[in-house]
Amino acid sequence: MQEKPVSGPRFDTLAIHAGATPDPSTGARVTPIYQTTSFVFNDADHAASLFGLEAFGNIYTRIGNPTQSVLEGRVAALEGGTAALAVASGHAAQFLVFHTLLETGDEFVAGRQLYGGSVNQFNHAFKKFNWNVAWADSTDPASFETAITPKTRAIYCESIANPGGIIVDLAAIGAIAKKHNLPLIVDNTMASPYLCRPREFGADIVVHSLTKFMAGHGNSIGGAIVDCGTYDWLGSKHRYKTLVEPNASYNGMKLAETFGNFAFAIACRVMGLRDMGPAIAPMNAFLILNGIETLPLRMQRHCENALAVARHLEQHPAIAWVQYAGLPDNKYHQLHKKICPKGAGAVFTIGLKGGYDAGVKFVQGLKMVSHLANIGDTRSLVIHPASTTHRQLTDEQRKTAGAGNEVVRLSIGLEDKADIIADLDQALAR
């Protein structure tokens, strides 16, 4: 088969080079950590033009910084967006997206199969702003349409959804978003752009917890917002005030009119990051950039190891079920071929025949695989939600959240797969 012609560098090249050039003043080949709060203006006119958004440049690290800018260019290129914004965490990215889109009293529809922290953020923290979530079922695209009301301003879902291994039909949800003229926001943390590019299925905005597979080494918290440049803010029947109305803090400038297909990223920076403040530290931006350089290689190995572990566990007598879309008889296998054909990710759940007690014993018995609340590390990780993240819920609530007493979530790392399997086996033998 002939390779499709491409108009620019390919993904693996972008992962290493996009956004970066040798440092103009020193020639440093690796992007330096610009560990500074602020930047000297050339003169008073230069300062005035930066503050008036008439020129792009560095003012203060809460709003932008050269190390962050390289990370932003890299993430935007990998996701196929027009611009990106790097922020302090995945949750900060989500907050700034909704802060930019919503007014008090507005609603958005979200698939309920989300990272638990996002469910909390939407259900509780957002209530304080009177931003209201209507829940849909990520495994049933039609339920998103049913939940839309005249107050709905956006649709939100994950590409590969929690608690692990659910592949979401982004194309179907994207079509519903288009039909109702709503921006589709996709959290692409679990897939990373190596496995899935939500823009190709109709996403207008992509958010990331860079903390996970993008950074890849479990050493830094960070987040990103990608503006796909696809949503027509000016032509929309909905009124996104931050984007279309004269902005009092920028002399009446209208952001969508001035910045066109990257206006959303600008709005998140100049109204969100400037005023709410969750900036990423330059050191973290640097570490995440280094991680992204090996994203393609790591994701290939993550997926290969995850499939081998899932296949092994499927046959294990102590395991009742394995929920991994990479397995041919899994109910999400066909969607995996459509949405993320290069791999089904590395986070999945298993059910232990022994229930709650077996779950606790199993995580305690592991020697190499770490028991902790994270995913997307080089190291293999495990958590038993019922005794940790979901312990405050009733049995019924846990079941609905996909975190029943018997459920264990695995994030398969980059170690030799035989060693991962050996550690899981010795803990299961207990």
**Torsion angle of alpha carbons 59, 62, 67, 69, nearest 10°?**
-80
Which of 16, 49, 53, 117 touches ligand PLP by CB under 6 A?
117
**Cβ-proximal residue to ligand PLP, closest one:** 90
- In the chain, the amino acid numbered 122 is F
Nearer to ligand PLP, 79 or 187 (CB): 187
Among 65, 159, 209, 405, binds ligand PLP (CB under 6 A): 209
Q: Which is nearer to ligand PLP, 319 or 345 (CB)?
A: 345
What part of residues 318-357 is at the interface with ligand PLP (CB under 6 A)? Answer: none
Per-residue contact track with ligand PLP, 369 to 408, x per CB under 6 A? ------x---------------------------------
CA gap 292, 297 in Å, rounded: 10
Site string for ligand PLP, 65-94 (x = CB under 6 A): ------------------------xxx---
Helix 282-292 to helix 66-79 angle (10° resolution) is 30
Task: Taking the CA atoms of 377, 381, 383 and 388 in sequence, report the sign of the dihedral they define.
Answer: negative
Whole-number minimum distance, CB 375 to ligand PLP, in Å? 6
Number of residues lying near ligand PLP (CB under 6 A)? 16
CA 196, 197, 200, 205 dihedral sign is positive
Chosen residue from 65, 189, 247, 349 binding ligand PLP by CB under 6 A: 189
Q: Which stretch binds ligand PLP (CB under 6 A): 41-49, 206-214, 245-253, 305-313?
A: 206-214
Exactly one of 98, 115, 201, 264 binds ligand PLP (CB under 6 A); that residue is: 115
* Whole-angstrom distance, CA of residue 9 vs CA of residue 17: 9
Minimum distance, C-beta of residue 184 to ligand PLP, in the bound complex (Å): 16
Does 34 interact with ligand PLP (rule: CB under 6 A)? no
Contacts of 168 (CB under 8 A, 6+ apart): 111, 113, 138, 139, 157, 158, 159, 160, 161, 335, 339
Rounded distance, CA 102 to CA 318, Å? 48
Task: Give the torsion through C-alpha atoms of 390, 393, 395, 397, to 10 deg.
Answer: -100
Q: Does 428 bind ligand PLP (CB under 6 A)?
A: no
Q: Which of 31, 211, 349, 389 binds ligand PLP (CB under 6 A)?
A: 211
Helices (H), 109-254: 116-123, 142-147, 170-179, 192-195, 241-244
Min dist CB 116 to ligand PLP, Å, is 8
Binding test (CB under 6 A) with ligand PLP, winner from 81, 165, 223, 413: 223
158 binds ligand PLP (CB under 6 A): yes
Residue 124 CB, nearest distance to ligand PLP (Å)? 15
Tokens representing residue 86 in the block:
């790097």
User: What's the closest the beta carbon of residue 105 comes to ligand PLP, in angstroms?
Assistant: 25
CB neighbour list of residue 239: distance below 8 Å, 6 or more residues apart: 245
Task: Give residue 307's identity as a one-letter amino acid code.
Answer: L
SS3 377: coil
- Residue 118 interacts with ligand PLP (CB under 6 A)? yes
| N-term to C-term CA, the chain | 49
156 binds ligand PLP (CB under 6 A): no
Identity of the residue, 243 or 377, whose beta carbon is nearer to ligand PLP in the bound complex: 377
From 70, 185, 221, 285, residue interacting with ligand PLP (rule: CB under 6 A): 221
377: Cα within 13 Å, side-chain hemisphere? 17
3-state SS of the chain: helix, strand, coil percent to 5? 40, 15, 45
Which residues are CB-neighbours of 277 under 8 A, at least 6 positions away?
62
Q: Give yes or no for residue 187 binding ligand PLP (CB under 6 A).
A: yes
CB of 10 to ligand PLP, least distance (A): 26
Enumerate binding residues for ligand PLP (CB under 6 A).
89-91, 115, 117-118, 158, 187, 189-190, 209, 211-212, 221, 223, 375
